[in-house]
Amino acid sequence: MTAEIISGKEIAAKKRLELAKEVEKLKAQGITPGLAVILVGDNHASKTYVRNKQKACHELGMYSLLVELPEEVSEEELLKKIDELNNDPVIHGILVQLPLPKHIDEKKVIDTISPTKDVDGFHPVNIGKMMTGENGFLPCTPFGIIVMLEDTGISVAGKHAVVVGRSNIVGKPVGQLLLNRHATVTYCHSKTENLKHYTQTADILVVAVGIANFIKADHIKEGAVVIDVGMNRNEAGKLCGDVDFEEVSKKAGYITPVPNGVGPMTITMLMYNTVKAAAESINR
């Protein structure tokens, strides 16, 4: 058996075409969705992520504002900048690129972003809304995974979903979103004893661990849906996932590749959230 590849790249491209139409409609009403990205310091990887986000905004005809602050910026100055953007009517979404320098409290920064502009979906208000299933902003990577499953026609209700990893930005929220869609969810993490015992019973396996080729064929059940969130560099410096694609793709029913799997969906859902924020600003 060879798994069907779930192409995040293709699904993302399709979703971006739909979004471009939404942007046109909003522009016709005099609103250009605007995303502000705050970049502190000059972390190389962060710069690349920020560039990709700006590029996606431009391609969709959205407004993108880059706020670059020096590494030594004080927490107070950063919070003041966020407050300014919270009150700026041309900005609908605010994103602070993480990680931040050590002298800045990440939690304080996230809490300062207005929940109505929190397009990353990290603010406690939006996390709470996700838990209770209310309208809010969903975190982009977990949201992208759900959209991929939906677009591929994979039903979630009643399935056993196993999530390996419990970070606040990926593992925990993706499990919650699967639960909201009526999966039976098991979380695994670094303290889980006998990981295989759980992963082998997964109908849907989501892996967000950050260890190259961690999940092998003997971790999975024949025909399982395998979603690989990992973005790692192997010894040769090549981008690879948390799942050993070579062997797992021979046993799984569906699998996401790395690159061109979950990655392109993350930025697409950021654009989606920004367009949603702009649309919702009309009624406030």
What is the footprint of ligand NDP within residues 9-68 (CB under 6 A)? none
Give the list of residues 6+ apart from residue 198 with CB closer than 8 angstroms, or none. Answer: 162, 186, 188, 192
Binder among 46, 186, 192, 201 for ligand NDP (CB under 6 A): 192
* Least separation in angstroms between CB 258 and ligand NDP: 8
The answer to the question of residue 190 lying near ligand NDP (CB under 6 A) is yes
Q: What is the DSSP code string of 37-74?
A: EEEES--HHHHHHHHHHHHHHHHTT-EEEEEEE-TT--
| Cα distance between the two ends of the chain | 53
Give the list of residues 6+ apart from residue 164 with CB closer than 8 angstroms, or none. Answer: 171, 188, 189, 195, 199, 205, 206, 207, 208, 209, 215, 242
- Measure the CA–CA gap between 60 and 274, rounded to whole angstroms: 11
Residue 54 is among the residues annotated as catalytic for this protein: no
Residue 88 is among the residues annotated as catalytic for this protein: no
Which of 26, 100 has the CB closer to ligand NDP? 100
Judge whether 166 is annotated as a binding position: yes
* Residue among 81, 117, 118, 120 flagged as catalytic: 120
What is the footprint of ligand NDP within residues 73-132 (CB under 6 A)? none
Q: Which stretch binds ligand NDP (CB under 6 A): 15-23, 42-50, 77-85, 258-266?
A: 258-266
* Least separation in angstroms between CB 222 and ligand NDP: 22
Judge whether 165 is annotated as a binding position: yes
Binder among 93, 165, 173, 175 for ligand NDP (CB under 6 A): 165
What is the footprint of ligand NDP within residues 196-235 (CB under 6 A)? 208-210, 229-232
Closest CA to 267 of 24, 25, 27, 35: 35
* Least separation in angstroms between CB 6 and ligand NDP: 13
Q: Contact residues for ligand NDP (CB under 6 A)?
A: 141, 164-167, 169-171, 188-192, 195, 208-210, 229-232, 262-263, 266
